[in-house]
């Protein structure tokens, strides 16, 4: 079993920054990919950024140049640095883990509980 716990969400004004963290515990040896997804009410959950075990990354076009995904393997922690935040970035952000490099939701069997990010104008 794998457990993921997000933190770092909150309220920030447009143009500001937040850093989300996700601590992973349990059996992690088989995990190849970690990612951040977000969802707003009434819309589908969407991929934000993913990172593979080799450090390869992929970002949604909407966040390229503003968000950075990273991980600290020694701390079993995934991060999402969010800069130049926009109102449309407001969402519940979820940490996820999977066994292959992917942006598909169904390739991520393990999910955190979500952390709320609210960006105000």
Which single residue is written with the structure tokens 């990172």?
51
Instruction: Give per-residue pLDDT as tens, 59-70.
Output: 999 999 999 999
Q: What is the mean pLDDT of residues 80-100?
A: 97
Average pLDDT score, the chain: 95
| pLDDT at 68 (0 to 100) | 98
Whether the per-residue pLDDT at 32 is higher than 90: the answer is no
How far is 60 from 46, CA to CA, in rounded Å? 9
How far is 27 from 3, CA to CA, in rounded Å? 9
How far is 98 from 28, CA to CA, in rounded Å? 10
């Amino acid at each position: 079993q794998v457990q993921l716990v997000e933190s770092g969400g909150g309220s920030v004004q447009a143009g500001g920054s937040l850093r989300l963290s996700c601590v992973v515990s349990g059996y992690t040896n088989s995990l190849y990919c970690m990612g951040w997804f977000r969802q707003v009410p009434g819309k589908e959950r969407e991929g934000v950024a993913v990172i593979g075990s080799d450090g390869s990354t992929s970002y949604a076009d909407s966040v390229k140049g503003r968000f950075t995904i990273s991980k600290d393997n020694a701390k079993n922690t995934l991060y999402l640095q969010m800069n130049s935040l926009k109102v449309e970035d407001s969402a519940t952000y979820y940490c996820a883990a999977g066994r292959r490099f992917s942006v598909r939701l169904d390739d991520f069997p393990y999910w955190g509980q979500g952390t709320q990010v609210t960006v105000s104008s």
